[in-house]
Amino acid sequence: MSYRIQNYIQGKWQDAVSGRITDDVNPATGQVIAEVPASSGEDVLRAVAAAKDAQRSWRLVPPPKRGDVLYRAGAILQRRKEELARAMTREMGKVLEEARGDVQEGIDMAYYMAGEGRRSFGFTTTSELPDKFAMAVRDPIGVGAIITPWNFPMAIPTWKCFPALVAGNALVFKPASDTPLLALELGRILEEAGLPPGVLNLVFGSGSEVGEALIHHPDIQFISFTGSGDTGRRVASEAGRDLKRVSLELGGKNAVIVMDDADLDLATDAIIWSAYGTTGQRCTACSRVIAHRRIHDELVDRLEDRVKALRLGDGLQDTTDVGPVINRAALEKIDGYVKIGEGEGARKVAGGTIATEGDLARGFFYSPTLFTDVTPAMRVAREEIFGPVLSVLRADSLEDALTTANDVAYGLSSSIFTQDVNRTFKAIRDLATGIVYINQGTTGAEIHLPFGGQKETGNGHREAGVGGIDFFTEWKAVYIDYSGRMQRAQIDT
């Protein structure tokens, strides 16, 4: 039984102006969960106007009071955690344990960013002139667009919306078309928490209509986007024409290095979790293992046994290890990459098929896949697949492994397993990624540390942590001259 989702504009729930709808589908069963507005540029115009009007008063609310809204939102998220996690599993497929973790990130972010209401620190400094005071303070930017993906449908929207709101901005939020239900619930939670009408507006629809309208709207002053590299380039290019501020969080091709002194039991556990958790649909997922030649064969044997034992199924079932991928297009893309890998000479030792038997045939399931005999030049070792496909490469030394790890376009997350402290610190220094793990996998970012990557993973901004509020604020320098006379900096010194 499905129900109707609506846009949320100026504090009111309403259908798209066009009246058009699309279906929100459970990827494990093919069942329609909800009918969703297929909004257009006209809905975006209304939402941006509402945000612009609301921001005039929201910016004047003291930041600690803005933070109080997020504290209340965090409490509601906590109270509804299990309900939201189950809805998430039905909507995008990840197993229930992971969905609970996704919601928990939203809870953690609510409380952390609520505290920023009392930590939006500027600074004071000395002046080069007598009887003059100098300081710098933060200002909100104004009205922004939040565009999020489907793989973390609660965590990523809260990473973006909560710091933007506590900083005094108003927002138009366009969630991924595959996960509207969790965005709807986040809107309801913020409404219940007391966020004034118009400060957050939800517009459901495609990137080609809603996303493009947001990018080109003259009153949108900043855009925070997480998604594919190709779309991110277009967002940056088009928004850059109007000098809009843009934050991009894009792809990854993350590597786990396993040295010859590694704890192979620990490494195997961590690799399986990093590669096949969320069905490999994480920007931090491990898609490459770079194994020292001395332990390569043993590690491959361990991984092969574990991969073949993974159980596909509905994420709501306790027996499921790996859920579905998000949709038919993703299924076909993953299968296409597996065929490319085989064509390039990689050896498939596990998986590599679309599930077509029993209940699995109703959804979008791909068997967890393991490749060996992979070389750094192969496409499966260089391009983001975003699915349950892992490639194992061989290295002769630490230096060789580090070179291979860095020899891709992306630079989000990396990991090394070793007991050697000297190797550890060389890896920390030389891995060209925004996240480095020692003796753990590539996933599991904590919200009080900055999240983001290098190279084509993004454009240099960070989300969460101590820098999480930076993108959503402007610095304002203030000079107070109490000398009672004309003073000229750099001249009268």
| Active site members | 249, 283
Q: Say how far apart CA 182 and CA 180 lie, in whole Å.
A: 6
How far is Cα 274 from Cα 268, in angstroms, rounded to an integer?
10
- Cβ–Cβ under 8 Å, residues 423 and 396: no
Check: CB of residue 178 under 8 Å from CB of residue 80. no
Sign of CA dihedral 91, 444, 222, 125: positive
Helices then strands, counting H and E runs in the chain, come out as 13, 22
Tokens 């949709």: give the residue: 327
What is the SS3 assignment for 394?
A: strand
Of the chain, the end-to-end C-alpha distance in Å amounts to 75
Q: Count the residues in the chain.
A: 493
Supply φ then ψ for residue 310, to 5 degrees.
Answer: -65, 140
Distance from the Cα of residue 293 to its chain's centroid: 34
Q: Residue 240's CB: how many other CB atoms inside 10 A? A: 11
Of 301, 311, 309, whose CA–CA distance to 267 is shortest? 301
Q: How far apart are CA 38 and CA 317, in angstroms?
A: 32
Q: Position 374: which residue type?
A: V
Phi, psi of 357 (to 5 degrees): -110, 145
Report the C-alpha gap between 352 and 142 in whole angstroms. 48
Q: How far apart are CA 170 and CA 195, in angstroms?
A: 10
Cβ–Cβ < 8 Å for 39, 16: yes
What are the E-state strand segments in 250-285? 254-258
Q: Is 60 exposed, middle or buried (0-12, 13-18, 19+ CB in 10 A)?
A: exposed
In whole angstroms, what separates CA 201 from the centre of its chain? 20
Q: Are 300 and 348 in contact (CB under 8 A)?
A: no
Least Cα distance to 465 among 448, 451, 452, 453 occurs for: 448
